[in-house]
A and B are shown apart, each in its own frame.
Chain A
Amino acid sequence: MKVFDRRYEMMARDELEQLQLERLQALLARLKRNVRRYRERIGNVSAESLEDVDRLPFTTPEDLAEGFPYGMFALPLREVVRLHPALGFRGKPLVMGHTRNDLALWGRLVARQLAASGVTPNDVIQVCLGSGVYRGASGYVMGAETIEASVIAEEPFHIDSQLAMLQSYRPTMLVTTPDNARELMEAMDRRRIDPPSFHLRTVLLSRPVTPEARQAFEAGLLVSVRCNFGIEEVLDPGFCIECDQGHFHVNEDQFLVETKDGELVVTTLGREAVPLLRYRTRLACTIRREKCPCGRTGAILEPGPRLDGRLRVREAPLYECQIAEVLAQTRAAGHRFHVEVAERHVVVAIEMSSQLFRDVIWMLTDLQNEIQDEFKTRLGLDADIRLITPRGNA
């Protein structure tokens, strides 16, 4: 497969480390000058080598939430050309700004991933990530434009229109979520559409899936499957490149990665608008620095589970405290509940109490509906509400 940015993707280790050190020092100088929060925390600490990064302060998801909206920006808003809302710690809103350079860089980093997946200027790409839930769509569009592939800018609004697009536009690559890919396979099954009637060669999934799921997609759609791995607050997509060997290579010319007690910690080296110093991602991971047959020298990252109890329902992140907040607006406020994530919805089991209990069925159904509606309006989420008997005081 083609390497888009040979200079940086295959940079010799000593040169890469020199580049990282230079960028880290420049980042510190900029942060001290432009962000009050960092100026106070960094003080006189300097980084004379990459090992010195240990002495620098962390940035936590809580810091980002506190700084909302523009507290972590290193540039005035007049330099920022795009704002992306994101979901931060415990469902609190975040905003990520991008300057013109940030956007160009984003496109270039995604282009690396696309090129590694075999995209050329002759390809047509369909991006179908479900608007509003997964926010990386514009990253893929910019990446495709950087490679000069043709990208279908509009997302299909329905599975049928997606099938029609796949047949009429003849895209060779589909960028989508694992959920959507599954739905697509089911829809093809129902309508008896054969995968060879499409021209798809590759499917790029928005997040890593298990090897079994990957095989199922490959067999069901007759394509090669690639996965993306990103962190919304840092960069998603564009953080890693998945190579032919299935390794996630971090774009180390732009991100300094380390682990702290098994947690992934990332420093953005080149970002202008919202640079992050040692951001604790609340994500378990292991980092390996070894030779890969693909020739890329970026560290190999193996993502693990989330450490902050974040759930995922239909590709959207969800925290338990968000559920508690929704319940607080209903009659079930203050009751204990249990959460379970099903394939397409979330199951919330609420422990009943004497003040909530009615011996008339329609009153209970009414309560269920009320809570369900509350979930739909506040979180846009399909919730299956179950009323259960208390499970003791454990």
Chain B
Amino acid sequence: MLLQVKNLRCGYGSLEVVRGISLHVCAGEIVGLLGANGAGKTTLLKALAGLLRPWRGEILVNGRHAQGLPAWRCVSNAMALVPEGRQIFADMTVRENLLIGGYHNPYRRMDIEVVLERFPRLAERIHQLGGTLSGGEQQMLALGRALMARPKMLLLDEPSMGLAPMAAKEVFAEIVKMKDLGVTVFLVEQNAAATLGIADRAYVMETGEIILEGESLELMRNSGVKRAYLGKGYKEVWE
């Protein structure tokens, strides 16, 4: 198991958002985390990436405790986060953005070539400012920037958010390709259909708890997925 989480609890102030979550990701897998708005997906991801201190619980990366480590240690633990809404540096060029992604990587100038080969569109715009790229290109840049850290595992936070359907499709195709690179992917998404289409397994989160876990095919048939996604539930069995 590359990533193992046990009973993770965290939140903001006195508000507990993630309420005792356990999950695991094996090397080479694409694992999805689905849930409606406010289910706690991003908070969970922040805790995994070291941006938020967990209140309780364990995070193990490659069998070693990693809870409460600062974000820079998480990156050297080979976990790279692609944050929600891309968060690229708009005033920096594509090249500078990529170099920042590989800040602690001594081979970053070499790796940049590899990333550009992977995303030829970025190579064409290498000297353009990040802010001038289209949404899809910015997402590719965010992915490329994360790859610059030579991660074993990518944490993706809603990569399809705010993208045109075609661009979202391209992003998902890129995520599938990560598998060939040997990069494990933990994908947090609202787009249930697309995520289950590419993921090996997935978790469904509702109000801070995981209510379903299973292989993608199973979850696609599950009515609970639709309910969690829509945030609706039946009250009684005969309803």
Residues of A at under 8 Å CB distance from B? 14-15, 18-19, 21-23, 25-26, 29-30, 33-36, 46, 48-49, 70-71, 73-77, 79, 99-101, 104-105, 270, 272
Contact = CB atoms under 8 A, between A and B. Distances in A.
A193 B62 CA distance: 62
Given A18-B1, A18-B24, A48-B20, A26 B212 contact: yes
Contact of B223 (A15, A21, A79): A79
B233 A46 contact: no
Given A18-B22, A70-B237, A25 B209 contact: yes
Nearest to B19: A46
Contacts of A25: 20-22, 209-210
A101 B218 contact: yes
B221 A33 contact: no
A29 B210 contact: yes
Contact of B233 (A33, A79, A101, A270): A33
A26 B221 contact: no
B110 to A, nearest CB: 36
- Residue with the greatest number of chain A CB neighbours at <10 A, chosen from B23, B210, B224, B234: B224
A262 to B, nearest CB: 30
A35 B233 CA distance: 12
Contacts of B210: 22, 25-26, 29
Contacts of B24: 15, 18-19, 22
A166 to B, nearest CB: 37
Nearest to A19: B24
Given A14-B1, A18-B24, A70-B237, A272 B222 contact: yes
B48 to A, nearest CB: 15
A9 B87 CA distance: 43
B12 to A, nearest CB: 21
Nearest to B6: A21
B237 A75 contact: yes
B22 A21 contact: yes
Contacts, number: 79
B8 to A, nearest CB: 11
Nearest to A14: B1
B136 to A, nearest CB: 34
B239 A76 contact: yes
A22 B238 CA distance: 28
B26 interface: yes
Interface of B: 1, 4, 6-7, 20-24, 26, 203, 206, 209-214, 218, 221-224, 233-234, 236-239
A110 to B, nearest CB: 16
Nearest to A100: B221
Nearest to A20: B22
A48 B218 contact: no
B169 to A, nearest CB: 27
Contact of A46 (B1, B4, B20, B23): B20
A79 B237 CA distance: 10
Given A14-B1, A15-B24, A70-B237, A101 B211 contact: no
B123 to A, nearest CB: 39
A36 B213 CA distance: 22
A29 B211 contact: yes
B237 A34 contact: yes
Nearest to B214: A270
A26 B238 contact: no
27 contacts: A15-B1, A15-B26, A21-B6, A22-B203, A23-B213, A25-B22, A25-B209, A25-B210, A26-B203, A26-B210, A29-B210, A29-B211, A30-B211, A33-B233, A48-B7, A49-B6, A71-B237, A75-B223, A75-B234, A75-B237, A76-B234, A76-B237, A99-B222, A101-B218, A104-B218, A105-B218, A270-B214
Given A34-B234, A48-B20, A101 B213 contact: no
Nearest to B204: A26
Given A71-B237, A77-B238, A101-B221, 15 more contacts: A15-B1, A15-B26, A18-B4, A22-B203, A25-B22, A25-B210, A29-B206, A29-B210, A29-B211, A33-B211, A48-B6, A48-B7, A74-B237, A76-B236, A99-B222
A22 B213 contact: yes
A71 B218 CA distance: 25
B211 A73 contact: no
- Top 10 closest pairs, chain A to chain B, by CB: A29-B209, A29-B211, A22-B22, A48-B7, A73-B237, A18-B24, A26-B210, A79-B223, A21-B22, A101-B221
